[in-house]
């Protein structure tokens, strides 16, 4: 088979979708020496291409090649430049995410990855231009796609709830923790302290990792932390995410000012994967208070580093965490702060969660997910 994969998100510091496609391609390269893969990128420097090649482990792999297509913007890339290329150089399968390219032959089978449909569940958190764009193009894309990949059973149900498409088209391929994340077992105290100083991290902290968009519900975490901190005054909160990122939740700044948290909430900014695993290991607790998630990969990453997890009580996180986390109703501030205190201090609870977390994390693997993906590709050929 000739398979094209859109990897424009690689190297863009976009966390979730970047991690998914990075691990899919990396693991395909480990196990597939037969099919031909064209990896589609947009404008990149030679240095960027070398870095991507090395990180994916495809140097010397003759069945993997890059196709660089330059365009003025992502719309002309998707709707003009790419279709023209595929008309001249067709592939059997083209794999992308969300918006599929239009005006390409039906002989090209299309797979699109849907990480979540939060824009349907919480449209008030999306600006009107994005809503217009998504409401117009997502239904068309899902109808054109031959296979729609959902990252969880919850996301599959949500896709079928909001869009009129055949159920048999929607298949589940779970996310997982990357091997590079779990293999970083460096316990050298000098190295760990160097990372702590580099990111200006406190000695004792609760951790959140993810985007800082409104649906992530960071203001509720800040409020609960403020209440809980009266009982543990030396505890701080580390929030890893991009404060200059798209659709940043400005309520975060307002709550920090209101509760005078400027000195106890730390924003390290973007952290690379190698350092992130060590920082997670430093944390007392990992908290994930999202209102809506398609999967919630950071909870598994925290479990992989033996960190107790506190997650919002929503269906997708129940699916991913199983019985290896404590769950909270984030609308109940008193209860939220109480459970945050419990998971921070009760050793028996913490140890039980650490053990359960390791077992739960191991239920998901990129190798099995990629094997599932290969089976999906075969059904289309």
Encode pLDDT of 252-263 as tens digits.
999 999 999 999
Domain boundaries, the chain: 2-176+365-380, 182-361
Specify the CATH class of 2-176+365-380 in words: alpha beta
Going by the DSSP 8-state scheme, the letter that residue 293 receives in this structure is: -
182-361, what's its fold? Rossmann fold (3.40.50)
Do 182-361 and 2-176+365-380 have the same topology in CATH? yes
Question: pLDDT grade, residue 14 (50/70/90)?
Answer: low
**List of residues 6+ apart from 45 with CB closer than 8 A:** none
Q: Is 118 in contact with 257 (CB distance < 8 Å)?
A: no
28, 141, 156, 259 from 144: Cα distances, Å = 25, 5, 17, 49
Enumerate the H helices of 32-112 as residue ranges: 46-56, 74-76, 82-88
CA dist 192 and 307 (Å) reads 16
Instruction: Please spell the DSSP secondary structure of 9-53, one letter per residue.
Output: TTTS--THHHHHHHHHHHHHHHH-SSSEEEEEE-S--HHHHHHHH
CA dist 238 and 279 (Å) reads 10
Question: pLDDT grade, residue 327 (50/70/90)?
Answer: very high
CA dist 226 and 229 (Å) reads 5
CA dist 370 and 381 (Å) reads 17
pLDDT for 15: 67
Mean pLDDT of the chain: 94
Dihedral-angle region of residue 217 (phi above 0 means left; psi in -120 to 50 means alpha; beta otherwise): left
Strands 285-288 and 205-209: parallel
The structure tokens listed for 206 are 């609760």
> What pTM was computed for the model?
0.93
Going by the DSSP 8-state scheme, the letter that residue 331 receives in this structure is: T
Strand partners, 305: none
pLDDT tens readout for residues 205-224:
999 999 999 999 999 999 99
CA dist 26 and 296 (Å) reads 21
Tell me the mean pLDDT in the region 356-367: 96
Q: Is 337 in contact with 228 (CB distance < 8 Å)?
A: yes
Residue 231 confidence (pLDDT) above 70: yes
**List of residues 6+ apart from 131 with CB closer than 8 A:** 119, 123
């Amino acid at each position: 088979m000739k398979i094209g994969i859109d990897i424009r998100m690689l190297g863009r510091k976009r966390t979730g979708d970047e991690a998914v496609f990075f691990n899919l391609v990396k693991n395909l390269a480990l196990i597939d020496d037969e099919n031909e893969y064209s990896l589609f990128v947009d404008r990149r420097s030679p240095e960027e291409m070398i870095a991507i090649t090395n990180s994916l482990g495809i140097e010397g792999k003759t069945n993997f090649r890059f196709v660089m297509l330059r365009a003025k913007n992502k719309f002309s890339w998707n709707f003009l430049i790419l279709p023209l290329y595929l008309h001249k150089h067709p592939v059997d399968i083209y794999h992308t995410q969300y918006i599929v390219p239009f005006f390409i032959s039906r002989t090209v089978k299309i797979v699109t990855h849907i990480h979540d449909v939060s824009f349907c569940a919480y449209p008030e958190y999306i600006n009107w231009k994005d809503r217009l764009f998504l409401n117009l193009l997502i239904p068309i894309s899902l109808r054109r796609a031959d296979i729609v990949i959902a990252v969880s059973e919850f996301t599959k149900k949500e896709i079928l709830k909001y869009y009129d498409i055949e159920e048999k088209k929607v298949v589940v391929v779970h996310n997982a923790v990357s091997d590079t994340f779990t293999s970083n077992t460096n316990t050298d105290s000098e190295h760990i302290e160097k990372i702590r100083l580099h990111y200006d991290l406190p000695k004792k902290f609760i951790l959140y990792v993810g985007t800082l968009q409104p649906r992530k519900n960071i203001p509720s975490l800040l409020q609960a932390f403020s209440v809980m901190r009266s009982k543990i005054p030396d505890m701080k909160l580390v929030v890893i995410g991009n404060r200059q990122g798209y659709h940043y939740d400005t309520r975060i700044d307002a709550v920090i000012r209101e509760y005078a948290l400027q000195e106890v909430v730390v924003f390290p900014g973007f952290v690379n994967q190698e350092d992130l695993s060590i920082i997670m290991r430093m944390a007392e607790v990992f908290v994930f208070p999202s209102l809506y998630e398609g999967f919630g990969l950071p909870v598994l990453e925290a479990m992989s580093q033996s960190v107790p997890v506190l997650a919002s009580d929503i269906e997708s996180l129940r699916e991913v965490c199983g019985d290896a986390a404590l769950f909270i109703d984030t609308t109940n501030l008193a209860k939220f702060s109480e459970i945050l205190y419990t998971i921070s201090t009760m050793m028996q609870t913490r140890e039980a969660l650490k053990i359960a977390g390791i077992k739960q994390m191991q239920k998901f693997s990129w190798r099995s997910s990629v094997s599932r993906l290969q089976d999906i590709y075969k059904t289309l050929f």
